[in-house]
C-alpha cells in the first residue's frame, strides 16, 4: 500500500523546487493531487509533465479570491481535501540588516511576511472546514533558519520562526480533527526560492549560488555529506500529510543533515583525541 492512497492533497507553490519535488513524490505515492502556482510558465511545465492527472490552479496564495477559486476547483474535481501542504516562499538574499537601506525595510518586511506567513495562514483558513470534515492534515514549511543564525537574513529567519509558532497555535485550535505540523529543511539542491522585489533581487534564485562553492560549504558543516534533493524531504511531508500519522501535531520536524550538531573543537584541532 502506498503512503497516500486515497488521499486528496493540495500543494501551494508546487511549480518548482521543493514544491515540485513534493508533487512528484506524492503522485508516486498514490495521491490525487492539486497544485496551486502563481507563475504561468511553471504551470505550463507542470502541464507538460503531469498532463490532466493533476489539477493545476493558477493563483496567488495571498489573495482570498484566488484561494476561493482554488477551493471550488478542488471540490469540483475531487469532492474533498485530505491534506494541505504549503511549499512556497521568498528568500531575503541573506543580506545583513546594516546593508539594507532603511527606506526599503517596510517593503521587505511586508513582502516576506505576506508570502511566507500570510501565504500559509490564508489557505488554512479557506480550507479548514473541508479538512475538518475528513480528519485532515496541514503541513507547512519552516527552515533550519528558524533555529540557528545565518540560514538566511533577519527577515527570512523571522518568517520561518513565525511558521513554527503558528503551527503550534493552529494545532491547538484545530485538535482533535486536523493535525498541523511543519518540516524545517536545511539545504537542498536546485532551490528555486527567489529573492525579494524590495531589494531588486526578484530575478535571483538560491540555485544561482555557485554549486561547487555551495556544496563545499555544506560539507564542512553537515555530518551527512550528501546534499539532498527536494524529493529527499518528501517522505517526511508525505507521512505528516497522511492518515498514517496518528501521533504528531504541533510539531516541526527539523531535517537539517545534522548541521546543528557540527564539529567545533574537533574541527579546529583545539582538542586532541586521547
- CATH number, domain at 140? 3.40.50.720
Q: What is the span of the domain harbouring residue 22? A: 8-268
Domain-located, residue 274: no
- In this predicted model, what pLDDT tens digit does every residue of 19-54 receive, in sequence order? 999 999 999 999 999 999 999 999 999 999 999 999
Model confidence at 201, pLDDT cuts 50, 70, 90, reads confident
* Span 180-185, average pLDDT: 97
Domain-located, residue 3: no
Domain-located, residue 63: yes
| Cβ neighbours of residue 180 closer than 8 Å, sequence gap 6 or more | 124, 137, 138, 140, 167, 170, 171, 174, 249, 250
> What is the rounded distance in angstroms from the CA atom of residue 132 to the CA atom of residue 134?
5
Q: CA torsion 121→126→127→133, rounded to 10°?
A: 120
If DSSP codes are grouped into helix, strand and coil, which group holds residue 1?
coil
% of the chain with per-residue pLDDT over 70: 86
- In this predicted model, what pLDDT tens digit does every residue of 139-148 receive, in sequence order? 999 999 999 8
Write out the three cell numbers for 82.
485530505
| Three-state secondary structure of 175-231 | CCCCEEEEEEECCCCCCCCECCHHHCCCCCEHHHCCHHHHHHHHHHHCCCCCCCCHH
Q: What is the pLDDT of residue 93?
A: 87
Q: Work out the mean pLDDT of the chain and round it to a whole number.
A: 90
- In this predicted model, what pLDDT tens digit does every residue of 79-105 receive, in sequence order? 999 999 999 999 998 899 999 999 999
Residue numbers annotated as active site: 156
> What is the rounded distance in angstroms from the CA atom of residue 152 to the CA atom of residue 215?
17
Total domains, the chain? 1
% of the chain with per-residue pLDDT over 90: 73
Amino acid at each position: 500500500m502506498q503512503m497516500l492512497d486515497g488521499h486528496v492533497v493540495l500543494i501551494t507553490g508546487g511549480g518548482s523546487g521543493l514544491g515540485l519535488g513534493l508533487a512528484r513524490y506524492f503522485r508516486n505515492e498514490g495521491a490525487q493531487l492539486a497544485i496551486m502556482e502563481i507563475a504561468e510558465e511553471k504551470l505550463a511545465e507542470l502541464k507538460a509533465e503531469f498532463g490532466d492527472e493533476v489539477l493545476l490552479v493558477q493563483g496567488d496564495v495571498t489573495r482570498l479570491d484566488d484561494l476561493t477559486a482554488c477551493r471550488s476547483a478542488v471540490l469540483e474535481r475531487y469532492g474533498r481535501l485530505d491534506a494541505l501542504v504549503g511549499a512556497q516562499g521568498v528568500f531575503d538574499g541573506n543580506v545583513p540588516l546594516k546593508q539594507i537601506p532603511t527606506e526599503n525595510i517596510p517593503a521587505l518586511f511586508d513582502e516576506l511576511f505576506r508570502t511566507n506567513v500570510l501565504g500559509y495562514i490564508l489557505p488554512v483558513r479557506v480550507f479548514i472546514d473541508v479538512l475538518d470534515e475528513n480528519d485532515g492534515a496541514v503541513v507547512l514549511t519552516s527552515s533550519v533558519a528558524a533555529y540557528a543564525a545565518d540560514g538566511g537574513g533577519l527577515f527570512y529567519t523571522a518568517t520561518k520562526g513565525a511558521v513554527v509558532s503558528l503551527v503550534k497555535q493552529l494545532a491547538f485550535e484545530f485538535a482533535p480533527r486536523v493535525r498541523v505540523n511543519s518540516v524545517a529543511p536545511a539545504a537542498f539542491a536546485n532551490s528555486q526560492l527567489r529573492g525579494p522585489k524590495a531589494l531588486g533581487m526578484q530575478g535571483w534564485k538560491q540555485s544561482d549560488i555557485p554549486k561547487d562553492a555551495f556544496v563545499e560549504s555544506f560539507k564542512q558543516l553537515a555530518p551527512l555529506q550528501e546534499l539532498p534533493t527536494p524529493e529527499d524531504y518528501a517522505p517526511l511531508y508525505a507521512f505528516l500529510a497522511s492518515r498514517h500519522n496518528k501521533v504528531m501535531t504541533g510539531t516541526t520536524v527539523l531535517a537539517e543533515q545534522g548541521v546543528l550538531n557540527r564539529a567545533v573543537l574537533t574541527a579546529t584541532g583545539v582538542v586532541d583525541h586521547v
